[in-house]
Structure 1
């Protein structure tokens, strides 16, 4: 069964449309980050100067330029400058560990790497010459502020993002001009984007969501706002949304839940027109009260797709939250110039209502993995109806339901999504096995009854240890230096053996079913009243078993989006003033109890005076 779409063709590539918007909205604000802002005139001029510098360094149509710049106005200037040159950019988050950045840069043929002192600074070379926006700033500023846009064709690359790979080497998924322009034109027309729109970016630059977030407002002369706070500061995000009248936002559902669930923060979200959630299934129950509230005029859109197919292939505008709570949120219908098929293992279409692999075809299908021809051949196949087109086998499972369209069921292979970040469990296991203390490792995704997702790893150690908790913490810290934080298991357990199924393979389902929370390190009778109360709060939020004084919030499966919820519950219970930074610096039950006592003592001292 395929899902048809309406024909609609993009008239201009993304860079051309941004340049046109810059000329018509020259004196309007283009990019804002805290107190710093830049007009479209300056965005155009500064990106022209950087484009001239890039050309002087040999960048031309077909070049691939790495961008490893912290979230800043300089990042946006860099993206636009590369596109003006007719080149493509590779999105690299400079906050990733050095080993991961090295793996990314080594995996693709970079002609140049744009960075800053704050970005990659003095970290080791990554296989490509560097251009420092700050260190080389004087030379860039001396370049002409006029630049003739280099013409590109529909099959030329526009950007590359990295996805997790089972070998431990990140796969570089390449998106071309036609697919990207088609997606962005659809966003503009479908959701009536206009110059008064303001979009807020809160996601990592390496995330495919961020690429559309950057472009979306700039196509229509709107404002792009860059969040300059901590990634888990939901209160700060809500404040920016309110203060800057943000109308558009793209993020993973888990990043938005704390905003929707904060009673005091909901009133700060009233300016939002459209909220685009993607990267993982939406838990409708967590946003229902906010979405159906009297102050909410926001329309929520579930966007489904893959990095390999220009990010978004289908969408569904949420309307019936009660149904979604029981039946799940549909992935909906395809965007223009896209078709979606559901095929069985033999490659034949499945009947309506049956589960099949989601296969995508159309203009959005990308160029494959530029560093992995074998995986490209396995995932990207020729469209049997049109030899000039290709299909992409997503590895996702779905079913076609009349009236609602495509429904996402889950993954057919070893890839999972944890809080919006797609990763390959084999990649996690490969990274774990790099530790000489580990004989073998198995990673699984655990979904609690509350819907909370946790990456769990089970380890066989080379030698037994008297204190497994210490070696586990050492292993997690070592892994955090090699891979992004979302690939570091929240819970690690040492086991004596892995359960096997009848064919001799590791029984992952059984391992996930016997998932246990971290061991209690301090008996209950030695815990203070404050520690017992905090333990009970964390038990409820994390949906785990027994918690002791030395139990660590993050080791129990907690993650950034839940910190705000835990903080709110603790401060409400004790009438205390524990901050996010207090929590991050002391995430155990004992640490939090001590912090509660300290903040209450300070409050009492202030009241006494």
Structure 2
């Protein structure tokens, strides 16, 4: 018989006929329930029947002669012996999924001869890929496939592909041992009976679920925020990749010795170490990840010999307390594993449903394979007469997780990272490898070292983040003072215009002389170094000369915001020790009459004065600026002359110089004014001042920019957004626009640059304590497609570190506190030694240096820029979930028609609610926004209230005025769907959901999220089946997960999509049942259809 065929021929192997008679009643041997892991895998299949997740494949490379008929006979014999290999899963028409064991179900077997092909190895890989992508129909087809491919006369590949729902790793070694034993014997040798898998399922059904629920609820109580890993993209697509590495021999030995000395397992050490890595990557002391357990109950007779899927994935919580050593933490994890053992059988989906995070509880798993499966498989058949010579075993497995870890013990431990390369990069895997090895090395060397002191950075990573990313040193007048530099500039440019204000202008000589007269008067009042002088003026020329005059005395100025209440103003004056206030004569009435005031406007035209140089230094205090404090009282930040000079000398984000014209937009009491005033005046440039009425009006501001020839300006992000909405072309005359103070809006930047293609937009970040800017970033086109715009790199003569809670440096991608160092760090807080000690700390990386701990969270990006994540104290709790408001705002900014938005937490009665305040271009349907958001955010992160504003209220400093936002109880709002009579579809859905939950229909509201009222993933299948029967529609299960409330699901069922779902689902069902593998073959293809 000839089996020749051209490679170009496709052969369709139909499975429809093969499966048609398999599930006849007379062919059914047994029916029983599913194990916890089986339920999870079945759910994954039901939601996406075309997914290849949980498809596993072994490729045995065999040398010598192989008899295909003997191999097929051995595979059939194996199926006859183990009922799990003859199992299908029924779930489409039942409330509770069942597995059905068939009496006869021979596995699929294929033989292909590739000896005459030019690239047989490539064709084997192509065949394996096709087998995996083909997937399995769990309800209708054979779930085990064997294929024998001949590459050369003495070279074969035996490909064994199966669905993980049948078997776990513990079962594979004895299963393959039997398979190759059958092949070796070639006869039906009597075998010892194997206990059926059904025994295990029946054992499961006897367990007390109440005890398990109580245990897992208590175990996970208080866990509020899921951990993440550094992802390069958010995607639904999957591309399998593996990163494998081996621990050094010495480290493996040390870990084994550590485990033995502490009476714990090496598995516990790996779990603890990975937990600490996650903690440090997420800036938290509390993490949860999936832990794969064997699931074989020791009390069940014959359990060790059973073949099937026993493993289960459980949440493993690693919670570190301050003061915990690594050894202490290992002991805690060891005890937790021991305590959870009686409840290892409980399904993950049930555990998730009883947790606060529901399906977001965990996103990756870790498995420690105590059995050396690969080693056992390589030895199979080799010691038996007539056996096979197995030279190599290649294993492929894919879960429904984008990332999972498998640790293989041995003389040298081997770690496998399996990941979705569409989501995670190879570089991220390599970084995680370095972090894990670095931590394990340090912990094994000194297990009693505090967890906070353990570093993740390898020598390579440490050099990168501490040195390369912070190589910012350059020359500048670090030993000068601001007033001395100004004198030098004024002497070199006496007649050059230094300041423009409305229709007035002032030369450098005029400002120098005017400020001299102010300094003389202040000195006459006994003021000099170590004194503070108040400055109570708006944005005007008196502000500039007041600052200069005070600095020339050697004293420091205290900007007093004119918008302050009298009580707040009095507090700052007293706290700062202000004795004299520089103001204008027309403003004197706003200050207490008991204060000594100097009217600087009256010194404008008075006689000239000679002022001797003050005896102050670069490290002397230049100003004291108050910011809001957590205690309710403002706190004063002490900034030196060197701090200011570091800010304005050597920046690469703006071209300072005599040609530069800068518009001041910041209030004197806002630290942006430091950059604006001294950036212009210490370089011979021109400073432009405009009134508040010009600044907040787009038309007037645009005219002012053109009239004064302004080249650069700073705006807060909210003010920029508002002006951009009014007239995005208003920035066309600028060269540089620095925006900051809040997260930048990509939409508004794009809008402005479309009207001004040459405009350089710079993201400026920094706390007042580090003198205005710590980092800056020139926004690129690529940034406008990213999730967030980076805050950039440190300024010259500055440093930025991303540190963990123990102030250890973190590698690229890990989230930590942004700590800033270098010459911008101020002296501390006025009269607040405890807060100063807490926030201003010694720089552990620069001898004698100081750091400011910002309280902001960020992470290094691979290019050395910093990604700002949010505030450590801006996370709020909503219904038990920890929420970052900035993440919600970024999602809202991408909605159609939205102009500006801020999200706040408001207390309504006893509950906290998320409220979105927005301005819009046109009338919007908030219900449509909710649909869009539901695909991007968890339900608990979608605001309860959407409140439309005419304009976003701003403070004088251009930031959103949170106190001016209206109360949602009285504002225009779109809240929860009001009570009304349900239509027939809504009533049916509600009744079915209530019956599954065991509650009254009235307990379920139209907008209640299914998952939040107790419906779990497996309940969805039951509800889906009942809805199909009720409406006689083949409703896709995916629709249930996309439309997760009665109102939304009813709308779907009543829509055209719902009407078309029956035909679409029926078509998909037919394809699923009849689809085959398309096999390209060259020489020999033989398929046994016996018993089909």
Query: What TM-score does the superposition give when structure 2 sets the normalisation length?
Result: 0.40
The answer on 1:236 being equivalent to 2:693 is no
**Equivalent position of 2:740 in the other structure:** 278
Structure 2 residue corresponding to 1:296, chosen from 741, 749, 757: 757
Deviation at 1:560, TM superposition (A): 7.6
The answer on 1:90 being equivalent to 2:551 is no
Structure 2 residue corresponding to 1:355, chosen from 792, 815, 838: 815
Cα 1:103–1:560 change in 2 (3 A) is: closer
Is the Cα–Cα contact under 8 Å of residues 52 and 144 in structure 1 kept in the other structure?
no
Deviation at 1:335, TM superposition (A): 1.2
Cα distance in 1 for residues equivalent to 2:504 and 2:955: 27
What are the equivalent positions in structure 2 for 1:16-27 lying under 5 Å apart? Answer: 16-27=484-495
Structure 1 residue corresponding to 2:768, chosen from 307, 314, 333: 307
The answer on 1:450 being equivalent to 2:898 is no
Cα 1:547–1:553 change in 2 (3 A) is: farther
Is the Cα–Cα contact under 8 Å of residues 49 and 141 in structure 1 kept in the other structure?
no
Deviation at 1:271, TM superposition (A): 2.8
**Equivalent position of 1:78 in the other structure:** 546
Cα 1:281–1:9 change in 2 (3 A) is: same
Q: Which has the higher contact order (CA 8 A, sep 6+)?
A: 2
What are the equivalent positions in structure 2 for 1:509-520 lying under 5 Å apart? Answer: 511-513=912-914, 515=915
Cα 1:405–1:149 change in 2 (3 A) is: same
Cα distance in 1 for residues equivalent to 2:793 and 2:826: 20
Cα 1:560–1:89 change in 2 (3 A) is: closer
Structure 2 residue corresponding to 1:536, chosen from 913, 920, 923: 923
**Equivalent position of 1:32 in the other structure:** 500
Deviation at 1:117, TM superposition (A): 4.2
Unaligned runs of 5+ in 2: 1-464, 878-884, 895-899, 931-942, 959-970, 973-1092
Deviation at 1:292, TM superposition (A): 4.2
Q: Give a deviation string over 1:311-369, Cα, whole Å, max 9, x none.
A: 1111111122x533432111111112212111112222222211011111111111010
**Equivalent position of 2:910 in the other structure:** 497
Is the Cα–Cα contact under 8 Å of residues 51 and 84 in structure 1 kept in the other structure?
yes
Cα 1:122–1:396 change in 2 (3 A) is: closer
CA RMSD across the alignment: 3.4
Is the Cα–Cα contact under 8 Å of residues 242 and 270 in structure 1 kept in the other structure?
no
Is the Cα–Cα contact under 8 Å of residues 535 and 547 in structure 1 kept in the other structure?
no
**Equivalent position of 2:860 in the other structure:** 400
What are the equivalent positions in structure 2 for 1:431-470 lying under 5 Å apart? Answer: 447=889, 449-450=892-893, 452-454=900-902, 456=904, 458=906
Cα distance in 2 for residues equivalent to 1:308 and 1:116: 29
**Equivalent position of 2:567 in the other structure:** 99
**Equivalent position of 2:682 in the other structure:** 219
Q: Give a deviation string over 1:187-227, Cα, whole Å, max 9, x none.
A: 3x763322222111122221111121111111122211111
Cα 1:75–1:184 change in 2 (3 A) is: same
What are the equivalent positions in structure 2 for 1:167-246 lying under 5 Å apart? Answer: 167-187=631-651, 191-230=654-693, 231-246=695-710
Cα distance in 1 for residues equivalent to 2:567 and 2:686: 35
**Equivalent position of 2:793 in the other structure:** 333
Deviation at 1:400, TM superposition (A): 0.6
Cα distance in 1 for residues equivalent to 2:780 and 2:921: 37
Is the Cα–Cα contact under 8 Å of residues 738 and 762 in structure 2 kept in the other structure?
yes
Is the Cα–Cα contact under 8 Å of residues 5 and 334 in structure 1 kept in the other structure?
no
SS of residue in 1 equivalent to 2:818:
strand
Cα distance in 2 for residues equivalent to 1:75 and 1:185: 22
Deviation at 1:76, TM superposition (A): 0.8
Cα 1:120–1:234 change in 2 (3 A) is: farther
Larger Rg: 2
SS of residue in 2 equivalent to 1:327:
coil
Structure 1 residue corresponding to 2:624, chosen from 160, 168, 177: 160
Is the Cα–Cα contact under 8 Å of residues 52 and 143 in structure 1 kept in the other structure?
no
Q: Give a deviation string over 1:247-289, Cα, whole Å, max 9, x none.
A: 01012122222343445x61x4333122111211211221113
Q: Give a deviation string over 1:431-461, Cα, whole Å, max 9, x none.
A: xxxxxxxxxxxxx8883712745474645xx
Cα 1:391–1:129 change in 2 (3 A) is: same
Cα 1:223–1:190 change in 2 (3 A) is: same
The answer on 1:54 being equivalent to 2:522 is yes
The answer on 1:365 being equivalent to 2:825 is yes
Is the Cα–Cα contact under 8 Å of residues 235 and 259 in structure 1 kept in the other structure?
no
Unaligned runs of 5+ in 1: 417-424, 426-443, 460-494, 499-510, 519-532, 564-587, 590-609
Cα distance in 2 for residues equivalent to 1:546 and 1:306: 32
Is the Cα–Cα contact under 8 Å of residues 360 and 391 in structure 1 kept in the other structure?
yes
How many residue pairs are counted as aligned between the two chains? Answer: 463
Cα 1:192–1:203 change in 2 (3 A) is: closer
Bigger mean CA offset, 81-90 vs 379-388? 379-388
